[in-house]
Amino acid sequence: MLNRINALFMLAVGIVMALVWPAMAQDKPRSGGELIFAVPSEPPSYDAHQEETFGVIHPVAPHYNTLLRTDPTDKTGTKPVGDLAESWTISSDQKTYTFKLRSGVKFHDGSDMTSKDVKASYDKIMKPPAGVKSLRAASYGAVESVETPDAHTIVFKLKWPESSFLLNLASPWNFIYKADILAKDPHWYEKNIMGTGPFLFVEHVRGSHWVGKKNPNYWDKGKPYLDSYRALFIKSSSAQVAAVRGERAHIQFRGFTPADRDSLVKALGNKITVQESPWDCVLMVNMHHDKKPFDDKRVRRALTLALDRYTASKNLSRIAIVQDVAGIQVPGTPWATPPEDLEKLAGYGRDINASRAEARKLLKEAGVPEGFSFTFKNRGVPQPYEPVGIWLIDQWKQIGLNVKQEIVEASAFHSMLKRGDFEVSMDFQCGFIVEPDLDIARFLAVSDANYGKHKDKVMDELYLKQARATSPEERKKYLRQFEKRLLDEEVHVFYTLQWHRIIPHNAKVRGWMVTPSHYLNQQLDTVWLAQ
């Protein structure tokens, strides 16, 4: 009897294993294959230290490592982990960061990577030599010195504690270059590749494609899983969708529209996997503080009070790449505004009728007549500018404003903002990591991106306090004060809806996780292709 029970049990286990095994096998990384992805932009140069477009990161990042990176399994993209750094310690005054580097890391030419290379790379980023650009040097203003006590240790000493410092070291832009090459020619990396990353450079045909192949001597043994990758430069969004649908490309890492997602899912069914995330990009509304009546904060407040963000979130997300109602940080990330706090800000209340009644009252108090006209300048880019622009105009109409939209060609938009040639204008921002210092520095009075020309010392002070806070609780407190001042009390600018990142990709692609940033998780060392 016991034997019969044992036999039945073994049979049951066998059946379960037979059913589960293929799925389990599919979840175990498999080596081989070529990942093909579409990139809607192209690298102007190969030197990420001096570039701004994801068109550099997507094809070039797999050739490099950074000192830290964000955890590729963290959906918020905000958790720093070691890349070339094996471990690190932070002093109790939070002003000294000591990193222990991995041993046995080699550049693609076979030479050893040491702390000298990390220091040379950071020197180039923080204090570029004459004639060399570095776009993110300002993010390292707190650094007093970088020291290399031995070949595998690097120490950053700061002038003051900086909350964002670790994440800034995980920046996907901060490729580690070879010191000897930089010493000979600091421009070399603009046109050449020499990193320690999981893939070796094969070729770049401008306007067409970029190819990398597996680095057989990669320090992280067993990785990368792919034999090679091929980035296809495809500008047209319909051609990108066709490429995924026709299985000429497995994925496009930046994002597709809801309509593209739906058409791909309809056409390919279970051959497509869809990953979605709030996107660290946002459209804001700028009001010029030197132009009447927008110099009056009651008018600015009325404009944000008119917006029914929650209804828009449901409706606009069907046709545009926007979705969440959010404050100054991406929902679901560590510094995001809790919903109960958010609802207390102007324009975020659940009772839209009450908000609009208050908006009308404020306009009346400010002497703005019913039917007042102004021009809203929008960027000539279909997604999501056009639908969001139309929505804004409709919302402002609800409080008796008559708004004319002027579409400014995308190439001319930034210069229009810088000239201050607007009354009310759309503005935009995309971050490479969700980190308050990076996302809200643009609101400082001295910022080059302060297009509305506001001057607010209180906000500048709050920014500094949050940036130098030594505990998360303290930082959160200052961030909420900053946010209230920016979006509610002074309404220097206001946010519309958070962008929403939609990545429908071939179901064979595994080991890649969507994050709020289209700059992260692009080393491709963890990515593999299922059979």
Partner 1 sequence: MGAYLIKRFFLMFPTLLGVALVTFLLIRVIPGDVVELRYSGDRGSVSQEVIDKERARVGLDQPVWKQLATWLVGLAKLDFGTSMWTGAPIWEEIELRFALSLQVAVMATVIAVLLALPLGVLAALKQDTWVDYVIRIFSIAGLAVPSFWLGIVFILVLLVFFQWLPPMVYTPFWQNPWENMAQLIWPALAVGYRYSAVSTRMTRSAMLEVLREDYIRTAKAKGLWQSLVLRRHALKNAMLPVMTVVGVEFAFLIGGLVVTEQVFNLNGLGLLFVQAVAHRDYTLLQALVMLVAGIFIFMNFLLDVAFAWLDPRVRYA
The CA distance from 214 to 226, in Å, is 7
Least separation in angstroms between residue 303's CB and partner 1 is 21
User: 431, 452, 511, 516: which one contacts partner 1 (CB under 8 A)?
Assistant: 431
The distance of closest approach from Cβ of residue 206 to partner 1 in the complex, given in angstroms and rounded to an integer, is 6
Residue 344 has φ and ψ, to the nearest 5°, of -85, -10
User: Nearer Cβ to partner 1, position 366 or 514?
Assistant: 514
Give the integer Cα–Cα distance in Å for 307 and 349: 10
Query: Binding of partner 1 at residue 481 (CB under 8 A)?
Result: no
Nearer to partner 1, 13 or 412 (CB): 412
Burial of 268 (0-12, 13-18, 19+ CB in 10 A): middle
427 part of the interface to partner 1, by CB under 8 A: yes
Contact positions with partner 1 (CB under 8 A) in 38-57: 44-45, 52-54
Q: Does 269 sit near partner 1 (CB under 8 A)?
A: no
Contact status: 192 vs partner 1 (CB under 8 A): no
120 belongs to the binding site for partner 1 (CB under 8 A): no
> Residue 415, interface with partner 1 (CB under 8 A)?
yes
Q: Is 4 in the site for partner 1 (CB under 8 A)?
A: no
Q: Which of 93, 129, 147, 191 is the binder for partner 1 (CB under 8 A)?
A: 191
Contacts 24+ apart (CB under 8 A), 268-275: 270/507, 271/506, 271/507, 272/244, 272/504, 272/505, 272/506, 272/507, 273/504, 273/505, 273/506, 273/507, 273/509, 274/502, 274/503, 274/504, 274/505, 275/502, 275/503, 275/505, 275/513, 275/514
Of residues 437-466, those binding partner 1 (CB under 8 A): 441-442, 447-449
Residue 190 interacting with partner 1 (CB under 8 A)? yes
173 sits near partner 1 (criterion: CB under 8 A): no
Determine, following the binding rule CB under 8 A, whether residue 138 of this chain makes contact with partner 1. Answer: yes
- Give CA torsion, residues 446, 448, 450, 455, to 10 deg: 20
- Residue 415: how many other CB atoms lie within 10 Å: 10
Q: How far is the CB of 246 from partner 1 (least distance, A)?
A: 3
What residues between 223 and 262 interact with partner 1 by CB under 8 A? 232-236, 238-239, 242-243, 245-249
Distance separating alpha carbons of residues 129 and 127, to the nearest angstrom: 6
- Residue 63's nearest CA partner among 204, 168, 255 is 204
Q: Which of 118, 194, 287, 417 binds partner 1 (CB under 8 A)?
A: 417
Interacting stretch for partner 1, rule CB under 8 A, among 79-87, 129-137, 300-308, 343-351? Answer: 129-137
Residue 39 main-chain phi, psi, to 5 deg? -125, 120
Residue 467 contacts partner 1 per CB under 8 A? no
How many other C-beta atoms are found inside a 10 Å radius of the C-beta of residue 470? 11
Q: Parallel, antiparallel, or unpaired: how do β-strands 251-252 and 68-70 relate?
A: unpaired
Which of 279, 278, 282, 254 minimizes the C-alpha distance to 442? 282
Is 262 in a helix, a strand, or coil?
helix
**Minimum CB distance to partner 1 smaller for 360 or for 508:** 508
Residues that bind partner 1 (CB under 8 A): 44-45, 52-54, 131, 133, 135, 138, 190-191, 205-209, 232-236, 238-239, 242-243, 245-249, 267, 281, 409-418, 427-431, 441-442, 447-449
